Each structure stands twice: as C-alpha cells, then as structure tokens.
Amino acid sequence: MESEILDKNVQFISTSGVYKTPFTLIIVLQLYVGLLITIFANLWYWNNLYYYFTNQIIFPFPINDSLIERVFFICLIPLNIYGCVFLFVFSIILFSIVIFKILDKLSPPKEGNFFRDSKEWKYVHRKFWTAYFPIWLARALPLPWADIFAYRFFGVRIGKNVVLYEGYVDPYFIEIGDFTMTSLNICIFSHLIYQDRLFIQKVKIGDACVVGPQTIVAPGTQMDDRAILGANSYTSIGQKLESDLIHVGTPVNIKLPLQSVEDSQEKATKIKETTIKKED
Amino acid sequence: MFQPASLKGDSPTPIDENVRKKFIPIYLLVIILSFVPVSILEYYIILYLWRTPFYLMFVLLFPLNLIILIYLLQFSATLISFLFLKTVNLIHTPKEGIFERNIKDKEYYFWNLRNIIKKWPLYVAASNPFPWFKNRFTLRFFGVKIGKHTLCDNTWISSEFVKIGKNVILGMNSTILTFGIEQDKFILKRILIEDGALIGAKCVLLPGTVVKKKAKLGAHSYSEYDFILKEDGLYRGHPAKIID
C-alpha cells in the first residue's frame, strides 16, 4: 500500500479536482433554505415598509403607523440589508454543516488510497459539494475572517491569529496552528486525484509557520513549528519540513538557515562591495 | 471547487488600450442586450405573481427565480457575444502565426476586438456561484473543444485555438495561454491536449504546446513555446523537461 501511495508518478503531480455528481444538487437545497430563512425573518419588517410606501398590506401582520416609527423604519434599511446578507450566509453555513456532520457519521473520514466508485470516493465527493457553496459565499463576503469561521465549523482546525484570506484550502484533514501566516494564491490540498485513484492524507501546519505566496502544500505534508515554505515552491507527498528553516524548491529540496535582519543586511552590503570591486 | 477570489474573475487577456477605447460601445451593448431577456422575464413574473392570492407563492418561488435569472443572464450574454463574434469573424477570420504587436497589424487588432466581445460572458460564467454550466459551457460556444469528463472549471483557459480531449484533469489554478506577447511580437498558436492527460496545479502552457495522450506535467512547471509532451511521458521543471 505504502509503495503504491508513494508512486513515483504521484510524487510531484499535485492536481486537485472533484467530479460533478447528482449530489451536487444539494446546492439548490442550500440556496432554498438560506433564502427562505432570510425572507421569513424579514417578512414582518418588509411588510411594514411596503405599507409605508404603497398603503397596501400584503401579509396580515400588525402594522405600526406613526411618523416616528416611519422614519425609524426607513432609517433601518441599510442595517437591514447588511443583516440580510449575514443571515443568508450564516444560515447556509449552519445548514450545510448539519449535512456535513451527517455525512461524516455515515462514513467516518479515513486517510488512504481509494479507487473510483468506492464508498470513500463517493462520500468525499459529497462532502466537497456540501462545502462548496457556503465557502464560496464566505469568500464573497467583505469580511476577511468569514471563511476561517466557515472552515472551523467544517472541522478544519485553525488556531488563533491565523492569516488565511486568499487561497484554496480543503475542508477537512487539515490542521493549522496559532499565529501561522499564509500568503496569496496558495493551495493546501489534503486530497489528490490521480487517474482513477483518490489519495487522502492529513496535512499538519504548526504554530507560527509561514506559507509563502504561490505555493502548493501537498497531502501528507507536516510543517513543524516556525518552519517557512518559500515562495513559488511545493512540497511532495508526505514531506516533513523542519522548524526554524526556510524550505525552497519544486519540490522542496533546499534548506536555508534563518537570519536576523542585521545579518542579512551585512551580507547584502558585502555582496554589493564585491560586485563594485569586480566592476572596477 | 471553492476557488479563491482571484479565480472568480475571467482569464486574463491584456487588451490593447487603443482598441479598448474605440470599442467600449460594443462592450456596453453586449452587457445591455444580455440584460434584456432577464428584465422581460422578471417583469412577467412580477406581473403574474405579485397579486393578492399569490404573494406567498412569489416568496416561496423566489430562490428558483434567482437561479433562473443567473443562468438566463449567462446564456443570453453567451448567445449575444457569440452572434457578435460570428459577424466579426466574417469580416476577418482568425489565424495562427507570429505578428507585429501594433494596432496597424490586422491580426492583432481583431484579436483585441474578439476579446472585448468575449469578456462579459466569460466574466459572468467565471463568477457564477453554481458549479453547473460554468466556464466550459461558455468556452464551447466560442469554439474551444473540450471533451467529456474533463475537469477544467478552476483553470484559466484562453478562449480560442484550444482543443482538450476526454478525461483530462487540469489542476487548480493552472493557465492555458494561446497568445504570447514578446516585446513587439505577438504570437498566436494552437494548444492541443489529448485524452487522459494530466496537468498539475499552477502550471502554465505557453502557445504551441502539444500534450499527447496520457502525458503528465508536474505541478508548478511551465512548458516552452511549441513544446511537445510525448505519450505517457512525465515532465516537470522550469521549463518542463522529461524525467527518466
């Protein structure tokens, strides 16, 4: 099994993708639930507003009709729009978490190597499609921590003070420690699809790590505390990145020591001097 | 897949500023015309459902209404820009080759014009919240051939001169470019990806690349101009080279 997993081919090809299944229609259900909850929560308020503007009553709710209340209700419109957006997104997130947990109960998440049309393959696809819409929405919200919030609910362990704004992260089998920073355009995969095989292994990122821009963290990667993954590099499956070192390469094969700011400045001036001498 | 915010936009096409200034009316016309069917449908829905016995029905049908509106906008945008594209192609048929990067060069001029026309539908398709009929559907209208069971919704694919076979997996965030700008030269070349190929995450295919059957390209690598990836070969690097 192990040798099959660490197949030479799979080592340096990190792709990700999930096929569309009929279960994808869950998105319509999620949209339905989210929209209906927001509409029915606001029906009473909108009914009032409609009455103020047109003098007609749509739904038989009690109506407050005095000048102060009119002004007050109309002033609340901007707040209501904000509230609706958040209610919509968070009700969808909560609803899809319920589905996600049910799917987890039906088929507990497992690491390993699975073939097409096995039970795990099916359930992994189902779980991905339940997580698709809420995370899309959380990303579309103008709040930077909304997607972290959603990921935490789905079971990704994310510590405090984590920077995780832009990038692709799988919704399970990922652990990120406190004070970790990730940069732009990263991909953290805990799954990999290769021909007709699906491969899942846990990704663990320690405390105070830095994941550089444009990097790919392949399934099975273990980053120790304070390890740094340099820009434009990717890790191979099951790689360990040691702490207090900078790791660079495609896939990672070079280790560089960490330097203080003074040290690196000294080095830079030295290099400058030598190049000036050479030019002379 | 839940793509990062950078992938919610359409694929990057550096449209020449001088051409863009000239054809802004056409770009706006595509947008306005694509909203016409949407507004007609919404008008009739409100006309027939916003009445005394049907208010609750309107509310209950609203989510379905929203889905239909999003897709109607995408389809009408695609159709209208498709019609514009056909007329432009009648005036000047697109060609491959190496051209001057200058508006006086006809190929370069019309390439820019085609991309202005295609921009709106591609943008709508890429920012569609639902996973069905996304980029692949729109790209097929514009003459990109994409086979069955191909994963390509979270990649940037140029909208012409691309042919992708069946059962291909294109990795997250990789880019397929059929145009290249090299200082004052402008290059347009076909890209062919055959059945069963596998392309890793964050790859870049430069114009003229041919990926033969079941060839594999490792993550984070790019292929040179006119590079051929042989059958069952395994490639990786900057630029891509064969491994054993």
**Closest by Cβ to A136, choosing from B63, B129, B219:** B129
**Closest by Cβ to B216, choosing from A9, A43, A128:** A9
Residue A268, min C-alpha distance to chain B (Å) = 27
- Domain membership of residue B29 as a residue range: 5-242
List the B228-229 sheet strands across, edge first.
B145-146, B162-164, B191-193, B210-211, B228-229
Residue B30, min C-alpha distance to chain A (Å) = 25
List residues of chain B with CB under 8 Å from any CB of chain A: 1-6, 8, 55-56, 59-60, 62-64, 66-67, 129-132, 149, 151, 154, 169-173, 196, 198-202, 216-221, 234, 236-238
- For residue A79, is it within any domain? yes
pLDDT digits (tens, 9 = 90+) for A95-150: 999 999 999 999 998 888 888 889 999 999 999 999 989 988 888 887 878 888 88
Q: Residue A233: which of B3, B202, B1 has the closest Cα? A: B202
Higher pLDDT, B164 or B152: B164
Query: Does the pLDDT value for residue A2 go beyond 70?
Result: no
CATH number for the domain harbouring residue B91: 2.160.10.10
Q: Which residues sit opposite A169 in a β-bridge?
A: A188
CA-based nearest residue in chain B for residue A142: B5
Number of domains in chain A: 1
pLDDT band at B1 (very low <50, low <70, confident <90, very high): very low
Residue A3's pLDDT is what? Answer: 46
Residue B118, min C-alpha distance to chain A (Å) = 24
Q: How many CB atoms lie within 10 A of CB B71?
A: 17
Cβ-based contacts of B59 with chain A (< 8 Å): 36, 39-40, 43
End-to-end CA distance of chain B: 33
Q: What tokens appear for A159 in the block?
A: 């510590």
- For residue A274, is it within any domain? no
pLDDT (average), residues B122-127 = 89
Residue A9's pLDDT is what? Answer: 66
**Alpha carbon of residue B110 to chain centroid:** 17
Query: Does the pLDDT value for residue B212 go beyond 70?
Result: yes
Length of chain A counted residue by residue = 280
Residue B2's pLDDT is what? Answer: 57
Q: How many CB atoms lie within 10 A of CB B12?
A: 10
What is the average pLDDT score of chain A?
87
ipTM, 2 dp:
0.87
What is the average pLDDT score of chain B?
89
CATH number for the domain harbouring residue A107: 2.160.10.10
Q: Which residues sit opposite B228 in a β-bridge?
A: B210
CA-based nearest residue in chain A for residue B68: A28
Q: In this complex, do B131 and A132 lie within 8 Å of one another by their Cβ atoms?
A: yes
pLDDT band at B194 (very low <50, low <70, confident <90, very high): very high
pLDDT band at B25 (very low <50, low <70, confident <90, very high): very high
pLDDT band at A187 (very low <50, low <70, confident <90, very high): confident
Q: Are strands B185-188 and B179-182 parallel, antiparallel or unpaired?
A: antiparallel
pLDDT digits (tens, 9 = 90+) for A237-279: 888 999 989 999 888 888 988 888 888 888 888 888 888 887 7
pLDDT (average), residues A4-26 = 75
pLDDT (average), residues B69-75 = 95
Q: Residue A164: which of A230, A202, A125, A209 has the closest Cα? A: A209
Three-class HEC string of A146-203: HHHHHHHHHCCEECCCCECCCEEECCCCEEECCCCEECCCEEECCEEEECCEEEECCE
Q: Residue A113: which of A100, A102, A124, A104 has the closest Cα? A: A124
Q: Are strands A174-176 and A157-158 parallel, antiparallel or unpaired?
A: parallel
On whether the CB atoms of residues B101 and B181 are closer than 8 A, the answer is yes
Q: In this complex, do B59 and A39 lie within 8 Å of one another by their Cβ atoms?
A: yes
pLDDT (average), residues B159-185 = 90
On whether the CB atoms of residues A13 and B216 are closer than 8 A, the answer is yes
Which residues lie closer than 8 Å to A209 by C-beta, 6 or more apart?
Answer: A177, A180, A181, A223, A225, A226, A227, A228, A229
Residue A135, min C-alpha distance to chain B (Å) = 6
Residue B7's pLDDT is what? Answer: 67
Provide the number of CB pairs (under 8 Å) joining chain A to chain B. Answer: 130
- Domain membership of residue A114 as a residue range: 2-258
Distance CA A26, CA A103 (A): 13
Number of domains in chain B: 1
pLDDT band at A4 (very low <50, low <70, confident <90, very high): low
Residue B187's pLDDT is what? Answer: 92
